[in-house]
Amino acid sequence: MGKTRKKYTIKRKKSKAVFKAADFLEEGRIAFLDSEYVTSQKKGGPPAKLVSLGMVICRENFEEVERFHSYIYNDEPLHDKFRELTGITEEELLQAPPYEQVMKEVARKLRARNVRIICVWGPDQQVISQDLKYYRTGISKHIRKTVSQMLEQMRDIEGIYSRKLNMHSIGIANLKLLCGLGSSVSHDALEDAVDLKNVIAYLDVHGCPERAAQMLRQYMKEKELYYRYRRFHEKWDGISEAVVRKSRELMNELEKSGMMEARALLDDLRVICTGEDSSFEEPEEYMERMKEK
């Protein structure tokens, strides 16, 4: 009797469980971290330089056990855009503790609280890594190793939670709006870290508010389309009255259309003829308008 051949089957790998910050609260504490950094105003300029860190450490049920915030010494001038966005001044950074002292204290708190995962949202992990390589060449080997270990603990959760929400590159302001937590962001490292903790706690505990997420997805889609088709933002000189009159007639027709391309063209014509520029509405206004429909 001939031998029967053994039947081989390909076993499918089990998909990894979807990441939830709440899962790590059961095994050990988790931290949410945010940073402020100065970017170059020149294309192809040097990497961003770290000037502030904020962190909140949580245990079970996202209960906060510790907060930390510090500026980092910097003696280089700040550009106007950074000052306006963050409110941080040169004087505050000149009086701040040095990089090594700040990172040593962060690492001490992480060890003391048994933190396993440091959650960040966006480029913070990359910024801290590049800052370490480019600006901190003179620090001790011990601190360099300490920061490298912190980087290994970091997890950029933006992509993970954006996929859960079926959105691309959603910011903290829109996340707060989605969760009913307001929409303002302070650009203060500690306050932004707390905001991140609050929105992740909401999403992990309550899940995604689908109706609000659907409206926000539509808002982001329409906003992107609107600015893709916008071209002009200043009044044109020397336009004849006849051209202005015909433009107004066209604007009246465009107002009847619900297409984003038509809205962009309408706003272009308006600014060309009158100098009155427009921008896309804020997400709060958009979502309130959609609720009324």
Domains of the chain: 21-208 (3.30.420.10), 211-292 (no CATH)
Residue 27: per-residue pLDDT:
67
Rounded to an integer, the average pLDDT of 74-86 is 93
Rounded to an integer, the average pLDDT of 72-93 is 95
pLDDT level of residue 18 (50, 70, 90 thresholds): low
Q: Which of 156, 154, 150 is nearest to 121 (CA)?
A: 156
Task: Tell whether the torsion through CA atoms of 204, 205, 210 and 215 is positive or negative.
Answer: negative
- Is the CB of residue 283 less than 8 Å from the CB of residue 219? yes
What percent of the chain is predicted at pLDDT more than 90?
A: 68
Torsion angles phi and psi, residue 228, rounded to 5: -65, -35
Express each pLDDT in 242-276 by its tens digit.
999 999 999 999 999 989 999 999 999 999 999 99
Residue 166: per-residue pLDDT:
87
- Is the CB of residue 104 less than 8 Å from the CB of residue 140? no
- If phi > 0 it is left, if psi is from -120 to 50 it is alpha, else beta; for residue 255 that is alpha
State how far the Cα of 119 lies from the Cα of 121, in Å rounded to an integer.
7
Task: With a cut of 60, say whether residue 17 has pLDDT above it.
Answer: no
- Is the CB of residue 101 less than 8 Å from the CB of residue 53? no
Higher pLDDT, 235 or 291: 235
Residue 168: per-residue pLDDT:
79
- Is the CB of residue 124 less than 8 Å from the CB of residue 33? yes
Burial of residue 291 (CB within 10 Å: 0-12, 13-18, 19+) is exposed
State how far the Cα of 76 lies from the Cα of 80, in Å rounded to an integer.
13
Rounded to an integer, the average pLDDT of 87-101 is 97
Q: Which of 110, 109, 146 is nearest to 128 (CA)?
A: 146
Rounded to an integer, the average pLDDT of 119-123 is 95
What percent of the chain is predicted at pLDDT more than 70?
A: 92
pLDDT level of residue 10 (50, 70, 90 thresholds): very low
State how far the Cα of 174 lies from the Cα of 169, in Å rounded to an integer.
10
Torsion angles phi and psi, residue 155, rounded to 5: -135, 120
Residue 65: per-residue pLDDT:
94
Range name among 1-15, 54-68, 195-209 with the lowest pLDDT average: 1-15
Residue 125: per-residue pLDDT:
97
Burial of residue 199 (CB within 10 Å: 0-12, 13-18, 19+) is buried
Task: With a cut of 60, say whether residue 12 has pLDDT above it.
Answer: no
Can you read off the two tokens belonging to residue 73?
A: 């010494």
Express each pLDDT in 125-166 by its tens digit.
999 999 999 999 999 999 999 999 999 999 999 988 988 888
Residue 90: per-residue pLDDT:
96
Other Cβ atoms closer than 10 A to 109? 17
Residue 1: per-residue pLDDT:
46
Higher pLDDT, 54 or 207: 54
Rounded to an integer, the average pLDDT of 63-90 is 95
Task: With a cut of 90, say whether residue 55 has pLDDT above it.
Answer: yes
What does each C-alpha distance from 218 to 154, 159, 181, 285 come to in angstroms? 31, 19, 20, 13
Rounded to an integer, the average pLDDT of 172-181 is 89
Task: With a cut of 50, say whether residue 229 has pLDDT above it.
Answer: yes
Task: With a cut of 80, say whether residue 3 has pLDDT above it.
Answer: no
Strand partners, 117: 30
Q: Check residue 239 and report its DSSP letter.
A: -
pLDDT level of residue 26 (50, 70, 90 thresholds): low
pLDDT level of residue 187 (50, 70, 90 thresholds): confident
